[in-house]
Amino acid sequence: MIILVGLLRAAPPAITNAGEKIGQVNQEQRPFRWSRVLVCSTCETPIDFRNAAITANYTDQLPVTYVVVGDSTGMSSYVQVSGYWFYDPYSYNQYWTVNYAMPVDQNGLALSSDLPTAQAQMSVVDVGLFGFTRGPNSPKVATVQMPPDYDGSFIGSADEFDSPGIGRALALLGVDPSDFPVGSKLLVTYADGTKAVFQKVSMTSSYQSAWDGIHAWNANGQPIDRSGNVLANSNTYGGASGSTTYEETLDGAGAAAALWFIYENEQCTTTTNLSINGVPDASFSGYVPC
Amino acid sequence: MTVARIAIAGLTVGLVGLGLWYGLGQRTTSQNAPAIALLAAHERAGSASTAGGIRGASATKSRAKVAMSRAITPAVPTAVDYREAFRAATDYRSFVLGVLPAARSGDRDAQYYLYAALNYCDETYRFYFRPRGKALSLDEAIKDRSYYPGPSMTEAIKRAYLRCHEVNETKNPLWGTASEWLSKATDAGQPLAQMQTAGLIFLRPHVQGGIVAAESQTPTIQEGTYTDARSLVRAAVETKDPEALFDVAGLLGFLKPKEPNEQLIQDAITWQYVACLRGFDCGVNAEWHLQFCLNGSNCLPDETGVDYLRRMAPQKHIIDLEARASELNEKIDAGAWDELGLGG
């Protein structure tokens, strides 16, 4: 309780409240059924992201899973927040009191208590939202098209062929694969419109790139596994609609990205458009937990 | 009468035992000459470093060893050069059998190179001979890859087959797994094992399943944090092992996450070049160079690894590679670890 009070009294991060409340509430049945987007210009640590969500929740006054997007760090986090109405017998007023706020990853698991590890986890969440790395060390070429000689679809594909296929795709672009340090991410698009995020895992082994095992989408933007099965959102409920827009300038390339969240038909979708020096470069859409 | 029977039985047992000893010895000598040489060398050198055979480490113990392994002093040169033996080995089954006793008795270098051999065989077997779960012969694997454009994989496939087909066909559970030996070598402070473990810790939040998960089956990796990984890198770099210095290049994206990509690439080439200057194998057939060339890099015929780096440098806007290398070498020689910008 002492810790919680400390958090609530902490100076709130600078937040651009770009969210829009949507849907109806039934707190008893579904504690985290609302999704709301926050943009936080100063968030760098899990505590920053949590404080941003807590601050917003005193306005929302209901259980929410927030999607807190870091402004320029290439990190985002889901934050589950809930609370209760405290009845003050002296003033006869009720006050919303937050009693739970947990930054979590795309699987709903709590972030690591080790800061650098947590920041890596938040960068993975960010890739799920934007479809490419937004961090300061984002590679120059973040999206590649799998060459036609290789797998034509992510569905049924295998790293044994995708890894050299990515090497070939980069070579065709005139890019040296060694320009991508281990840890770099690549959004690979296939001829049938499926997409997947690959990770550079080694400079010197047979497998140089491998699917990250987390992010893949069918041609409609729905999350899928490697067999093509559509994965259910981890927290779907609703039936309302709404949207919010987020825009920022990316580091380095003079690029700009915009992210739209559209909540309808019990699912949240995102659309990201990337332009470099004003020229449209890539478009990405996907579904997120909400 | 009874005494005579006992004498005959004893003589029979003795002769059978002698025959078995002679037969096995001949078979072993003919098939595993390098293994026997390594075994003999190990016995001459005595069991180096920490004692203790295969043992299960609890998660807590292993985690604590991340910190412990950092405190272990730099590698003491051993009488057995497992690095050279591994590099020269063409049949990894013989190599595995040769290093197994030393690895079991706690020699950290033997443990690391046993890991390296088993891991290479696991990885290449999966990559070339079991793609999409389909079992391929040598000829089928070569044919399968010949349909794709880009650098030919034929020589790499043949090399992997020659080294590993006996390992993969006759794998003995008593050899242990690659992950087990990596864990032991890391706990014992082997610098290359520390670098490998650090790399897998760094990758863990980013990747679920696949090859990385398959190579990460140790408590140290499963529970390690980025702070732990930096500590392992620091410990490995402090040994000044040239191969560990080379491996730094591959982890710079994690070690310097805020550095611009172009700077990372330039730093990586400098670390690799320094490793070559300090004795890391950067010849024409260096394993790392062969792998670079398999993945779309613009390699030239008969070019050495060090020549490749010198040729790449200007393409990455490095016009002063020698000066950069000299500066980095001075910091390494002086033990100025905090000036390397690696954290830990």
B296 closest CB neighbour out of A124, A136, A168: A168
Quick: pLDDT tens for A74-110: 888 988 888 899 888 888 888 899 999 999 988 888 9
Q: Closest residue of A to B250, CA-based?
A: A182
Chain B residues 211-230 with CB within 8 Å of chain A: 211-213, 225-228, 230
Chain B residues within an 8 Å CB radius of A147: 149
Tell me if A201 and B225 make a contact (CB, 8 A cut-off): no
Q: How far, CA to CA in Å, does A113 sit from each of A120, A132, A242, B68?
A: 12, 25, 34, 21
Amino acid at B156: A
Residue B27's pLDDT is what?
38
Q: How confident is the model at residue A283 (pLDDT cuts 50, 70, 90)?
A: low
Regarding predicted confidence, which is higher, A73 or A168? A168
Amino acid at A13: P
Q: Give the Cα separation of A121 and A258 in Å (integer).
A: 22
Shortest Cα–Cα distance, B86 to chain A (Å): 16
Residue B344's pLDDT is what?
58
Kindly report the average pLDDT of chain A as a whole number. 71
Query: Cβ contacts of residue B324 below 8 Å, gap of 6+?
Result: B266, B270, B318
Quick: pLDDT tens for B258-275: 788 888 899 999 999 999
CA atoms within 13 A on the CB side of B62: 24
Q: Give the Cα separation of A176 and A168 in Å (integer).
A: 10
Residue A107's pLDDT is what?
80
Q: Is B56 on the interface with A (CB under 8 A)?
A: no
Residue B46's pLDDT is what?
42
Does residue B300 carry a pLDDT above 50? yes
Radius of gyration (Cα) for chain A, nearest Å? 20
Q: How confident is the model at residue A139 (pLDDT cuts 50, 70, 90)?
A: low
Residue A17's pLDDT is what?
35
Chain B residues within an 8 Å CB radius of A198: none
Residue among B91, B83, B109 nearest B35 (CA): B91
Q: In terms of DSSP H, where are the helices of chain B?
A: 2-31, 33-45, 59-71, 82-88, 92-104, 108-124, 138-146, 154-169, 178-187, 191-203, 210-214, 219-223, 226-238, 242-255, 261-277, 287-294, 305-315, 321-334
Tell me if B295 and A177 make a contact (CB, 8 A cut-off): yes
Does residue A10 carry a pLDDT above 70? no
DSSP single-letter state for residue A31: T
Shortest Cα–Cα distance, A207 to chain B (Å): 7
- Strand segments, DSSP code E, in chain A are 15-16, 35-40, 64-70, 76-88, 93-104, 143-145, 185-189, 195-200, 209-217, 243-249, 255-264, 267-276, 279-288
Tell me if A182 and B253 make a contact (CB, 8 A cut-off): yes
Regarding predicted confidence, which is higher, B274 or A279? B274
Residue A285: strand pairing partners: A271
Residue A176's pLDDT is what?
80
ipTM attached to this prediction: 0.77
**Token representation of residue B173:** 């559970």
Q: How confident is the model at residue B295 (pLDDT cuts 50, 70, 90)?
A: confident
Residue A85: strand pairing partners: A96
Residue among B189, B218, B216, B211 nearest B200 (CA): B216
Chain B residues 227-256 with CB within 8 Å of chain A: 227-228, 230, 249-254
Residue among B105, B100, B78 nearest B32 (CA): B100
Q: In terms of DSSP H, where are the helices of A194-260?
A: none
Average pLDDT over residues B240-244: 96
Average pLDDT over residues B56-72: 46
Compute the CA torsion angle A173, A178, A184, A189 (nearest 10 deg).
Answer: 30
Average pLDDT over residues B243-252: 95
Pairing mode, strands A35-40 and A64-70: parallel
Residue A271's pLDDT is what?
55
Query: Cβ contacts of residue A22 below 8 Å, gap of 6+?
Result: A34, A238, A240, A241, A242, A263
Q: How confident is the model at residue B184 (pLDDT cuts 50, 70, 90)?
A: very high
Residue A221's pLDDT is what?
75
Residue among A93, A92, A81 nearest A34 (CA): A81
Q: How confident is the model at residue B10 (pLDDT cuts 50, 70, 90)?
A: low
DSSP single-letter state for residue B126: I
Contacts across the A-B interface (CB distance below 8 Å): 164
Shortest Cα–Cα distance, B130 to chain A (Å): 9
Choose the weakest-confidence range: A118-122, B75-79, B161-165: B75-79
Shortest Cα–Cα distance, B205 to chain A (Å): 6
Q: How confident is the model at residue A222 (pLDDT cuts 50, 70, 90)?
A: confident
Q: Give the Cα separation of B166 and B97 in Å (integer).
A: 12
Does residue B71 carry a pLDDT above 50? no
Quick: pLDDT tens for A40-80: 888 999 999 999 999 988 987 887 778 888 876 788 898 88
A121 closest CB neighbour out of B205, B253, B264: B205
Chain B residues within an 8 Å CB radius of A112: 205, 225
Average pLDDT over residues B194-198: 96
Chain B residues 274-313 with CB within 8 Å of chain A: 287-288, 291-292, 294-298, 312
Q: Is B135 on the interface with A (CB under 8 A)?
A: no
Q: Which of B130, B211, B288 is the best substitution to test chain A (most A C-beta atoms within 10 A)?
A: B211
Choose the weakest-confidence range: A190-199, B44-53, B155-164, B307-316: B44-53
Q: How confident is the model at residue B54 (pLDDT cuts 50, 70, 90)?
A: very low
Q: Which of B121, B132, B261, B281 is the best substitution to test chain A (most A C-beta atoms within 10 A)?
A: B261
Q: Which of A52-66, A208-222, B45-59, B121-135 has the highest mean pLDDT?
A: B121-135
Does residue A267 carry a pLDDT above 60? no
Average pLDDT over residues A194-216: 90
Residue A270's pLDDT is what?
56
B287 closest CB neighbour out of A185, A204, A214: A204
Q: How confident is the model at residue B37 (pLDDT cuts 50, 70, 90)?
A: low
